Amino acid sequence: MTLLNTVQVSVLVCGLGVVLGGCREEARSQEPLRPVRTMIIKAASIGEEVAQTGEVQARVMTDLGFRIGGRVASRAVEVGMSVVKGQVLATLEPNDVQNELRVAEAELTSAEATEQLARSQLSQQRTLYDKQFVARVRVDEAEANWRAAHARLNVAKTRLLTARDKLSYTELRAPDTAIVSAVAINTGQVVEAGQLAIKLASTEDRVAVFNVSERLYTSVPPDVKVEVALVSDPSIKVIGSIRDASPTADVATRTYRVRIALPDAPPTMTLGATVTGRLALSGKPLVILPASTLTSDEGKPAVYVVQPTTHELVRKPVVVARYTASQTIIESGLAEGDAVVIAGVSKLRPGQKVSYATEQVSK
């Protein structure tokens, strides 16, 4: 082949390549636009509803114990029993205390006789002194004896009152209307002063007790309203507020105990009943999208956004706040007014031109 022929062939091949390339570009430009469904982004403040399971308890729990030691003579209550103010719950054997009371009564009788004699002698000495039959020192001596006898009489009276009070301590009585929640003594048992005997749960005021996480503990305002409903019957509910909260977390569970006041709680909210507490937390601007919107970009969540001028697809990484069964809640990564593709994202690619129509607005 001559040099001229070689050049002609080369020119022909190059020309053919240019023609074919132009055909591909023309075919690409004539490719029909893929229709997609989109949603125009509009962020809104979305509150979060929090639900927690807890238990109804008495606001006041009282641990009762005898004020003196002794042997338990009787116990008149069991766990779950209702008691009224002043009702006898248990007693101690009173023999030793009764003996102390008798001794105190005898000492008082003796002190009263001594004081009466000393008063009579003082009166006598004063009469004799007025008639100048005795010296002044006799009167002073009689007065000192009376003062000592009077003091001993006061001590005897005090001992008698103490002995009577001690006798009353052999009876353990209910300080108020309540329910017996625990019993720690039995008949014949020897107990010490102050040892736990019976625990009472007051029925006058009830609270719902919840153990909450640190995130919820720190994010809930102190004036929040909580809806407390029975698990067994959700139609029975009370709107309460935070009564008090533990300042430190439990060592084992790392949760905080929060008590919710239950004003005018119905009788069906009995002590020990399981309840659910619900509250709404104020939210930050979030975007709710269908779950079918998400794709991935290098293993991270992303969505396809249509460029309004070129109608080309752009893949944008996003930060997901949380998921639900049918929705994806986006925290950041999207701008107000973005047209996000909400279906068929697995068949799309960045740079692809599409046609779209807005179907709904995210709220």
Q: Which of 231, 248, 281 is the last residue of a domain?
A: 281
Percent of the chain with pLDDT over 70: 88
User: How, if at all, do strands 354-361 and 34-40 pair?
Assistant: parallel
Residue 211 lies in a domain: yes
pLDDT for the residue 89: 96
Domain harbouring 126, CATH code:
1.10.287.470
pLDDT for the residue 353: 87
Q: Give the C-alpha separation, 154 to 161, whole Å.
A: 11
Pair (332, 344) in one structural domain: yes
3-state secondary structure of 353: strand
Lowest mean pLDDT: which of 12-16, 158-162, 323-327? 12-16
E strand or H helix at 72:
strand 70-75
Q: Give the C-alpha separation, 304 to 290, whole Å.
A: 13
pLDDT for the residue 49: 76
Pair (303, 337) in one structural domain: yes
pLDDT for the residue 29: 52
Q: Is a pLDDT exceeding 60 seen at residue 4?
A: no
Domain range enclosing 258: 51-59+204-281
Tell me the per-residue pLDDT of 190-239, one tens digit each, with 9 for 90 and over: 999 999 999 999 888 899 999 998 878 887 888 889 999 999 999 999 99
Q: Is a pLDDT exceeding 90 seen at residue 35?
A: no
Residue 176 lies in a domain: no
Pair (100, 165) in one structural domain: yes
Cα distance from N-terminal residue to C-terminal residue, the chain = 75
> Residue 182 is which amino acid?
A
Residue 13 lies in a domain: no
Q: Is a pLDDT exceeding 90 seen at residue 40?
A: no
Q: Is a pLDDT exceeding 50 seen at residue 13?
A: no
> Residue 301 is which amino acid?
P
Which CA distances in Å does 136 have to 139, 143, 152, 167?
5, 11, 25, 47
The 3-class secondary structure across 234-295, one letter per residue, is: CCCEEEEEEEEECCCCCCCCCCEEEEEECCCCCCCCCCCCEEEEEEEECCCEEEEEEHHHCE
Q: Give the C-alpha separation, 11 to 5, whole Å.
A: 10
CB neighbour list of residue 82: distance below 8 Å, 6 or more residues apart: 177, 178, 179, 180, 203
pLDDT for the residue 348: 86
Beta pairing partners, 238: 228
Q: Is a pLDDT exceeding 90 seen at residue 358?
A: no
Pair (238, 291) in one structural domain: no
Q: Name the band, by pLDDT with cuts 50, 70 and 90, for residue 174.
A: very high
Average pLDDT of the residues in 172-177: 93
CB neighbour list of residue 208: distance below 8 Å, 6 or more residues apart: 54, 55, 56, 57, 226, 228, 240, 259, 260, 262, 275, 277
Tell me the per-residue pLDDT of 280-326, one tens digit each, with 9 for 90 and over: 776 677 888 888 888 888 888 999 999 888 888 999 999 887 777 78
Tell me the per-residue pLDDT of 110-159, one tens digit each, with 9 for 90 and over: 999 999 999 999 999 999 999 888 899 999 999 999 999 999 999 999 99
pLDDT for the residue 309: 86
Pair (311, 264) in one structural domain: no
Pair (291, 271) in one structural domain: no
Domain count, the chain: 3
Domain harbouring 269, CATH code:
2.40.30.170
Pair (274, 310) in one structural domain: no
pLDDT for the residue 151: 97
Residue 7 lies in a domain: no
> Residue 318 is which amino acid?
V
Q: Name the band, by pLDDT with cuts 50, 70 and 90, for residue 20.
A: very low
Q: Give the C-alpha separation, 155 to 73, whole Å.
A: 31
Half-sphere exposure of 243 (CA within 13 A, CB side): 18
pLDDT for the residue 6: 46
Out of 4-18, 150-164, 271-285, 334-348, the most confident range is 150-164
Residue 182 lies in a domain: no
Percent of the chain with pLDDT over 90: 54
Q: What is the distance, to the nearest Å, from the Cα of residue 126 to the centroid of all Cα atoms in its chain?
A: 76
DSSP structure string for 165-211: HHHHTTEEE-SSSEEEEEE---TT-EE-TT---EEEEESS-EEEEEE
Average pLDDT of the residues in 338-343: 88
Q: What angle do helix axes 136-168 and 95-130 make, rounded to 10 degrees?
A: 160
Give the position of tokens 């007051």: 202
Domain harbouring 301, CATH code:
2.40.420.20
How much is the pTM?
A: 0.58
Q: Name the band, by pLDDT with cuts 50, 70 and 90, for residue 363.
A: very low
pLDDT for the residue 31: 61
Average pLDDT of the residues in 53-63: 93
> What is the average pLDDT value for the chain, to the nearest integer?
86
Q: Which of 212, 247, 281 is the last residue of a domain?
A: 281
Q: Which of 147, 169, 191 is the last residue of a domain?
A: 169
Cα Rg, the chain, nearest whole Å:
45
Q: Give the C-alpha separation, 87 to 172, whole Å.
A: 8
> Residue 284 is which amino acid?
K
